[in-house]
Amino acid sequence: EVQLVQSGAAVKKPGATVKISCKVSGYTLTDYFTHWVRQAPGKGLEWMGLLDHQDGETIYAEKFHGRVTITADTSADIVYMEMASLRSEDTAVYFCATLSTSWTSDYWGQGTLVTVSS
């Protein structure tokens, strides 16, 4: 059974950095890309970026370029998303998900709430 299990909720102050983990099981990381999508309270889904596990390439949405880093520990089957210079507008639920060759997300993590507040 494919599962993506994310780390728990986090509360951060403005300017801080958050790192969220996504532990995958039931498949090999190289079977899919992993991408990150966020959802601010009451808002829609927003694509952040992806990691191609085959060659380690990362692609980021222009909005997040330079502030978001997606990495993986392939030995432990964990994918990480780190966001720096947090601001209140980054308060959101962050999802990791698989991304297939048809650019489709069959499997999602449960989401991680990040609250940015002074």
Partner 1 sequence: QSALTQPASVSGSPGQSITISCTGTSSDIGTYNLVSWYQQHPGKAPKLMIYEVTQRPSGVSNRFSGSKSGNTASLTISGLQAEDEADYYCCSYAGSSTVIFGGGTKLTVL
Residues lying near partner 1 in the complex (CB under 8 A) are found at: 35, 37, 43-47, 50, 52, 57, 59, 61-62, 95, 97, 99, 102-106, 108-111
> Would you say 110 or 117 has its CB closer to partner 1?
110
Beta bridge partners of residue 116, listed in sequence order: 12
For the CB of residue 108, give the shortest distance to partner 1 in the complex, in Å. Answer: 4
> Would you say 80 or 107 has its CB closer to partner 1?
107
103 by DSSP, 3-state: which? coil
For the CB of residue 39, give the shortest distance to partner 1 in the complex, in Å. Answer: 8
For the CB of residue 63, give the shortest distance to partner 1 in the complex, in Å. Answer: 9
The torsion angle over the Cα atoms of residues 24, 27, 28 and 31, rounded to 10 degrees, is -110
For the CB of residue 50, give the shortest distance to partner 1 in the complex, in Å. Answer: 7
> Would you say 27 or 47 has its CB closer to partner 1?
47
- For residue 41, give Cα distances in angstroms to 5, 90, 98: 21, 10, 23
